[in-house]
Amino acid sequence: MPLDRSYDLMDADGEPIDGERYDDADDALDALAEYSAYWPNGDAVTVERVDASLPDPETTEAEPITVDDADVFDAMPEGNPFRDVVERLRERGVDWATIHDAMEAAYEPVEQACYDESFVEIPEYEIQAVVPDAKATSGERYETFTVAKPTEADAVAWVEQKPEVRDVEYVDRVGEVTVG
Residue spans per domain, the chain: 5-51, 69-117, 120-179
Alpha carbon of 179 to those of 109, 151, 156: distances in Å?
Answer: 21, 15, 20
Is domain 120-179 given the CATH code 3.10.20 in the classification?
A: yes
Residue 1: its pLDDT value, please? 41
Can you tell me the mean pLDDT for 50-69?
Answer: 69
Q: Among candidates 157, 150, 154, 148, which has minimal Cα distance to 125?
A: 148
Query: How does pLDDT run across 37-57, given as a tens digit for each residue?
Result: 665 555 556 666 665 555 666
Q: Among candidates 87, 82, 88, which has minimal Cα distance to 103?
A: 82
Query: How does pLDDT run across 115-148, given as a tens digit for each residue?
Result: 999 999 999 999 999 999 999 999 999 999 999 9
Which is more confident, 26 or 86?
Answer: 86
- What one-character DSSP code corresponds to residue 133? -
Between CA 96 and CA 137 the distance in angstroms is 81
Between CA 36 and CA 30 the distance in angstroms is 10
Contacts of 129 (CB under 8 A, 6+ apart): 142, 143, 144, 145, 159, 160, 162, 165, 166, 167, 168, 169
- List alpha helices for the chain, DSSP H: 25-38, 69-75, 81-91, 96-117, 152-160
Q: Among candidates 39, 52, 34, which has minimal Cα distance to 12?
A: 39
Give percent of the chain above pLDDT 70.
Answer: 79
Which is more confident, 106 or 47?
Answer: 106
